[in-house]
A and B are shown apart, each in its own frame.
Chain A
Amino acid sequence: MASIEFKQICKSYGNISVIKGIDLEIKDGELVVFVGPSGCGKSTLLRLLAGLEEEDSGSMYIGETLVNSIAPKDRNIAMIFQNYALYPHMTVAENIGFGLKLRGMNKKKRARAVDETASLLGLKHLLTKQPRQLSGGQRQRVAMGRAIIRNPEVFLMDEPLSNLDAKLRNQMRIEIRKLQRRLKTTTIFVTHDQIEAMTLADRIVVLNDGKVQQVGAPSKLYSSPVNKFVAGFLGSPSINFIHARRTGDNELTLPDGQCVLLPMDQAQILSDLREVEIGIRPEQINIVKKSDQTAMEKNTITWSSSVSLIESLGSEKLVYSFHGEHEVAIKTTNSNGALEGSNIQLSFSMNNAHLFALNDGRCLSPVAGNA
């Protein structure tokens, strides 16, 4: 077990810069998820740590050791690949014990270790089978077995669940979480799936365009994103953005002409910005009864629009409507009788909204900035 540290890591392929100076510290025993869209550099960063790619500059530490020039096999890490990379010509037992064999452990000891690992993962009855005889979930477990048997200091997982169907993915996600809690091995998990990131991570590292956007606990990133990208990337359906012009010290005007007063603390941070975007989570928008005008307050935005689509998730409903030209998603348990095509009244309070600068996307609202 060990901590990990990236210092000013850069990597480019030819003229294309993939990792642009990343600084990151990961604590001993932590499960950190790298999340971001395709091409954001998350896998590259993982492969750099594994030693499968060579960095252009910067340094990486595992524990106290500078690992830049250490061969992959001597970094004491184990990696789980997206397609598992199980050897088709070896049995499950041989696959799991491969690393020990290469490191010269004798047959008896190896068999015992394989046995222990297999029973930990519920693979004991499959030890003599070959990978092609296994289901996706079983292969996934064998790959995990191969990783944990050597008791490495770090686990690296490169989108290990993306080849599984949805139900199995949830199940394996929970298993990985439990296993990690039990083994307390520092783990980096790469995914592009924000739900996986939210549910698995001790801390999430949101990457975009080769840079770290924000690091923090899932709930913190969700409630206090530092910029528009993080706000938009986490959450499903994703956050709604509404453009607004500043028409007074603490007054914003929306495209439909409606004015709203900002709470004082929000207004202060705006300083001299003229244009902003209001970000509001789907679950923070309410569908209100037309007659119910009493709840209106000065910092509440209310408008009416038609419903374009309703998706039912069982206990909750996703209602898609519009604010001006922008499509707006609403997540609610109480749709107040909204039907597709019908007109509804929507409202949200500015107290729940995030403000983003239109020019650079940074978050302005105090809920985010300093929390």
Chain B
Amino acid sequence: MMVDACHLWLAMRKVKYMADNVTARGKKRLLKPFYNAGYIKAWLYLAPALLFLILFTYYPMVQVLWDSFFLKEYGAEKKLFVAFDNYRRLFADEDFITAVKNNLIYAIGTVIPSIVIGFGFALSLTQSSRFKNCIRSLLFFPTLVPLVAAAALWIFIYFPGIGLLDYYLAKLGIQSTDWLGDPDIALYSLMILTIWKNAGFYMLFFIAGLQGIGEEYYEAASLEGAGWWQKLRYVTLPLLAPTSAFVFVIALIHVFTHVDHVIVMTLGGPMGSTNLVLYYIYQNAHEFNDLAKATTATVLSVMVLLAISFFSIRTMERGIHYES
């Protein structure tokens, strides 16, 4: 959903550019945009997608926002307007605060490593060869596995004592660990799964980005005196900024929208140590039947996501139109 929203936003910017380009220079175009043939045409192209987004994305968003100001007791006939009472209740809920904290740790601990690792893979696998293509496919494989299946798989890896991990650690003389059962470790175990699953996906974006950087930039740099590190620092990284910004947004969205592994592996436990915001929302809506609280938490998380996305795409757009 968030991705759709980003796309739509970008599409609308395009509409504006198109309209601007068609409008005769010097005309006061803000006053009568709809008299402009180009503008109308652009909106017509946009209309089908917009219709469905309004029906299935924007309308529910507004509905949820509206609902967050009401309280409806289970079985009661009428919704009761409570203004910001739901928000007050939410912030008073320790479980929610824990979920937010967990989610922050989870975000920092998965986004940065998986991007760095994905980038590293991409750097070493950009040039095509049969061997490298093979490795690429292997690294991309975790992306193809549904998160639920991956989580089920990793349960066996993490199984205390006889799991794959403990089995080999035992050979090194390290004693058995309860990877998913120890509240101090469980969240980190989930994070490792997430990094494993996503790094290959981000690698793909980085490979595409790297292949878009002209060879002559590197050739010029080597003649100017750049070594490997300087080429990375002054050529690759800056020219890859648009890709990185995009991957960063995608990664953040993943963090807030994927909880399959929590449900399969830990159910938020032990002692709430792996509870993430989305799972908290799910619990409140479907287990505790506190729809108002779930709605309110949803509103907040959507707002945070929107803010992140808009901010990132803004920076991405501002810095960088590299086609010359």
Contacts and interface: CB of A to CB of B under 8 A. Distances in A.
A313 interface: no
Contact of B225 (A52, A89, A103): A103
A102 B224 contact: yes
B310 interface: no
A73 B225 contact: yes
A81 B219 contact: yes
Contacts of B319: 89
A50 B320 CA distance: 31
Interface string B298-324: 000000000000000000000111101
B77 interface: no
Given A85-B217, A88-B239, A89-B241, A99 B322 contact: no
Given A83-B216, A85-B217, A73 B222 contact: yes
Contacts of A89: 238-239, 241, 319-320, 322
Contacts of A287: none
Contact of A87 (B222, B225, B235, B321): B235
A99 B324 contact: no
Given A87-B235, A89-B238, A132-B321, A102 B230 contact: yes
A79 B220 contact: yes
Contacts of B263: none
A330 to B, nearest CB: 43
A131 interface: yes
B118 to A, nearest CB: 22
Given A52-B219, A85-B219, A87-B217, A73 B324 contact: no
Contacts of B92: none
B64 interface: no
Given A88-B322, A132-B321, A73 B226 contact: yes
A234 interface: no
Given A87-B235, A89-B241, A102-B230, A72 B216 contact: no
Contacts of A51: 222-223
Contact of A73 (B224, B235, B320, B322): B224
A50 B223 contact: yes
Contact of A88 (B216, B230, B324): B324
Nearest to A156: B223
Contacts of A90: 238
A90 B224 CA distance: 15
B245 to A, nearest CB: 13
B234 A85 contact: no
Interface of B: 214, 216-217, 219-227, 230, 234-235, 238-239, 241, 319-322, 324
17 contacts: A51-B223, A52-B219, A72-B222, A73-B224, A73-B227, A85-B216, A85-B219, A85-B220, A87-B235, A88-B239, A88-B322, A89-B239, A98-B221, A99-B225, A102-B221, A102-B230, A131-B324
Interface of A: 50-52, 71-73, 77-79, 81-83, 85, 87-90, 98-99, 102-103, 131-132, 146, 150
